[in-house]
Structure 1
């Protein structure tokens, strides 16, 4: 599952593109050569960069990223430059479309406090011309729209590419903006390259109305630390290639994610709303529920608890190695005990308890009152 932690910048070895895999030493040498090449380009873009022996690419990306900005704006070859290897440092996230015609750079400027102020750098190809602009994606697509006094950008780590029946391409970016420390907005923003420009594509159709953006605002902690216990963020937007249906997460009245989805069908031109339902990656037997209450894994099991309404809960479990799309091995109904935050389910002389255990959960199985199995939550491998 894809987590929404930041992805970062380093260079990918051209040697990896070779059909013949080089040795580790050869790969390291190639990477060093590419680093030197990039440093040279950055120094030419920003002459005041020093040439001390300890210089590395990370020394040149300060809050402003001036070297990178100058380089991208002045050198069209950067659209094809292989910025694909990531490291765990706060540099620049680069998203590139599958056809390599669109690329968006985003980074945290260090401004804005808990409302992060992102910066964007956008490149795209139209025919033989390559254009680059240092501007937020929202400002570029909606130049006449309403904007904050300061042009806040957004964090973009993925660009989806959809071929249309008329031969054109529809691009959709996974756009994230953190409104405060525990509140964020996640959106899909659609666009096209048309007549030499990157333009808004109002392809989302619902109840007769069109928009180039769909998404939601939500509490971060409610989803990440409670419902799915850190399992990730890629449940928020999913595309089922088999049915050509796009699943967009929905929230409740207090903007908490519930693991139910607005479903849009791609007809080759537009994404048209169909209904709101459970996700396609969940077995049909489990589609009837109001919201996801808890999801976690133990050493031997994957466990999902859904709220069916009120205090009624449903327990479903799968043996390790299975997926939620598989028929569950066990399904029980039970209740939530608000006093201690536990869940209780019974089947004959067996009792299944899911109890809090120091910021995690513990599965306990009892037979005639005796505990016969006890497994704590474990992180996904």
Structure 2
């Protein structure tokens, strides 16, 4: 029954998509997004039916956002201020061709569960990918997006985070590009000891940074001027330090250099 309801919803959305204004699209998304918080609160208050309803609310919003992202090409630059206010995170590339939407599904416990919609532009059209977690796949949240041009190529360096428990967390940086009409999420241009990779990631003890203001916490950054990825050094017990591991772009890939 859930599958039939989802198909019916998507058909209705497809029929009505092009008749709606940007304001109507945002209002519809906001209404759907608020259902997630509503059922999250119900779940926290012990409502036995809230867990399934919360899952349905996340499915509805994720599919709705994905379909609007494709039906409305201009949405890739739409600010969606009301959704940002409700904590839908949006990161948009400088060239306006790639955007990441991230949100907390509130379906995890101390292991936080997130979902993403990746939206990208091909000519006058936009395409999108919905990423949801499972027992086999953990979906992170994204915190920063750098646009990096190297010759004729444009790379998108996305910084992401994971929360596995109140203590165990992680940060990474992943490289995307758009090629052959598709979003490529496996751009292997980071040279590591085990070969070329599309991402670098480290685990850390959250309590080692909890007393530092969020905007001042050591994290992964990319310096456009020097073309260097800066990664905090993590000690053996998971303590994040102010020391850095640096990867500089050499014209083909990022490789580790002496600090």
TM, length-normalised to structure 1: 0.51
Q: CA deviation at 1:41?
A: 2.4
Question: What are the residue-to-residue correspondences of 1:1-381 with 2, within 5 Å?
Answer: 38=22, 40-41=24-25, 57=30, 60-63=33-36, 64=58, 65=61, 67-83=64-80, 89=86, 91-136=87-132, 149=135, 151-165=137-151, 167-199=152-184, 200-207=186-193, 209-225=195-211, 229-230=212-213, 232-233=215-216, 235-275=218-258, 277=259
| Greater helix content | 2
**Displacement of 1:73:** 4.0
**Aligned pairs, number:** 215
- Displacement after TM superposition at 1:128 (Å): 3.6
Specify whether residues 233 and 126 from structure 1 end up closer, same or farther in structure 2 by C-alpha distance, changes over 3 A only. farther
Cα root mean square deviation, aligned: 2.7
Pick closer, same or farther for the CA change 1:197–1:242 going to 2, 3 Å: closer
Kindly indicate whether the alpha-carbon contact (under 8 Å) linking 1:73 and 1:133 is maintained by their aligned counterparts in 2: no
Q: Which segment is superposed worse, 194-203 or 230-239?
A: 230-239
* Secondary structure of the structure 2 residue equivalent to 1:205: strand
Rg larger for: 1
Counterpart CA distance in 2 for 1:149 and 1:60 is 24
Greater relative CO (CA pairs within 8 A, separation 6+) = 2
TM-score of the two chains, using structure 2 as the length reference: 0.73
Structure 1 unaligned regions, length at least 5: 1-35, 47-56, 137-146, 278-381
